[in-house]
């Protein structure tokens, strides 16, 4: 094995270390930002994803043998870390699992891998012995079986046009298509976007058109949690066709994500004029929100419906189910702000990429009394679709929420998703 392959394993351990530390950069960004040839980047990404998909299995295995390891002459930590993940994956599940100890010793592995080779016979015999008791690897094949959805900005696309969503096309999810559309996305001619996440802007536009306004001079939209900006730019595209003078605002608290939002908005001529705020949507001043009429709220959530994102699937696999409380608290605060402190607000669309009732139907049930107090009423989202919400309490209000909500289960056409909407008449 040459120095290039050795460096790939070293890079892999560093990237896994960052992932385990919950650093903000995605796995793909971590890999493809490195100054490596394209083939090496592809190989590195494959190692990282495969190793992390075996994380629970390898971690459980290491815990099973750690007592025996402590009695052997090992000169490395007995705490399971990123180097352990890469070394064990490569030697027990990866490309070197069938190589003899003699063959492995001749290869130029990083030091952290070579430490395991000294006792490779022990590891392999114990791994085979424990194999049936260990967790299965995390499956990552579902996303590749789903169509690839692409939203056209300026490009003429020959994919299958969506029945409901304007400018959205589906394609076979092949590597060639993914590479081609990724290049076009960087050029700003298309956006690769999960189909379900296109619905909040679509719902907003349907509401605007149903108002049958003579002009849109007083319309001002607000995306309360906007980064990375896919929904914002889709809405901007459609608003520009309806009336290019409509005021559009977007908010993002995190500075890095705000910069990403701004870059994505500036990439397209119709979204360059979006007014943006680098602050919490809960901290908008009266003057910043006094003219807001239509609100799009997609707050941070558990992402429990996400199956397309490798990072999200692996995060759930490695760290387990997140603490819903930290999400539901913020979600409720955002909804309460939207329903009670937007004096000119007359339409609100709420969405999450979660499948948990607590973040979806239960959240809407919890704010329903406040909504009614301020003159809001639930409206049925996309009545032409049959995928309604869950009736979680068998009460009149619970049935109302279920009937008015829109739900996509993971794998229907993409990620799991939930949408609810409110409207009110401003006298």
Catalytic residue among 138, 198, 220, 353: 353
Q: Is the peptide bond before 228 cis (omega within 30 degrees of 0)?
A: yes
Q: How many CB atoms lie within 10 A of CB 208?
A: 22
Q: How many CB atoms lie within 10 A of CB 29?
A: 11
Q: What share of the chain is helix, strand, coil (3-state, %, to 5)?
A: 50, 10, 40
- The verdict on whether 382 is a catalytic residue reads no
| Residue 161 to residue 173: CA distance in whole angstroms | 15
Burial (CB count within 10 angstroms: exposed 0-12, middle 13-18, buried 19+), residue 83: buried
> For 69-74, which contacts have Cβ atoms below 8 Å and span 24 or more sequence positions?
72/119, 72/122, 74/115, 74/119
The length of the chain is 427
How far lies 426's CA from each of 218, 222, 293, 376, in Å? 12, 17, 10, 10
Q: Which residues are catalytic?
A: 353
């Amino acid at each position: 094995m040459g120095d290039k392959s050795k460096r790939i394993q070293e890079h892999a351990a560093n990237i896994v270390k960052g992932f385990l530390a919950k650093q903000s950069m995605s796995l793909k960004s971590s890999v493809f930002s490195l100054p490596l040839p394209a083939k090496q980047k592809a190989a590195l990404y494959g190692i990282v994803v495969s190793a992390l998909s075996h994380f629970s299995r390898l971690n459980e295995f290491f815990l099973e043998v750690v007592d025996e390891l402590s009695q052997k002459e090992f000169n490395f930590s007995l705490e399971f870390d990123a180097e352990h993940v890469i070394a064990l994956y490569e030697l027990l599940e990866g490309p070197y699992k069938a190589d003899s100890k003699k063959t492995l010793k001749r290869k130029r592995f990083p030091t952290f891998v070579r430490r395991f080779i000294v006792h490779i016979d022990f590891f392999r015999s114990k791994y085979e012995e424990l194999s049936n008791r260990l967790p299965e690897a995390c499956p990552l094949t579902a996303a590749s079986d789903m169509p690839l959805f692409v939203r056209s900005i300026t490009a003429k696309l020959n994919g299958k046009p969506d029945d409901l969503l304007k400018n959205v096309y589906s394609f076979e999810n092949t590597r060639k298509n993914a590479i081609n559309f990724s290049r076009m996305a960087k050029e700003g001619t298309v956006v690769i976007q999960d189909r379900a996440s296109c619905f909040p802007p679509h719902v907003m536009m349907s509401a605007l058109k149903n108002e049958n306004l003579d002009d849109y001079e007083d319309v001002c939209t607000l995306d309360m949690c906007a980064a990375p900006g896919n929904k914002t730019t889709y809405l901007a595209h459609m608003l520009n066709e309806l009336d290019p003078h409509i005021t559009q605002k977007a908010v993002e608290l995190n500075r890095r994500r705000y910069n990403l939002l701004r870059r994505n908005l500036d990439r397209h001529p119709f979204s360059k004029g979006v007014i943006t705020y680098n602050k919490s949507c809960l901290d908008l001043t009266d003057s910043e929100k006094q003219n807001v009429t239509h609100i799009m709220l997609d707050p941070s959530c558990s992402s429990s419906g996400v199956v397309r994102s490798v990072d999200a699937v692996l995060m759930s696999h490695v760290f387990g189910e997140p603490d819903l409380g930290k999400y539901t608290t913020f979600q409720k605060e955002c909804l309460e702000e939207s329903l009670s402190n937007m004096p000119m607000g007359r339409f609100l669309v709420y969405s999450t990429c979660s499948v948990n009732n607590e973040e979806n139907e239960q959240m809407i049930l919890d704010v329903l009394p406040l909504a009614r107090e301020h003159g809001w009423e639930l409206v049925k989202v996309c009545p032409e679709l049959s995928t309604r919400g869950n009736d979680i309490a068998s009460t009149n209000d619970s049935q109302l929420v279920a009937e008015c909500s829109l739900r996509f289960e993971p794998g229907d056409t993409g990620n799991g998703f939930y949408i609810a909407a409110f409207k009110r008449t401003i006298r």
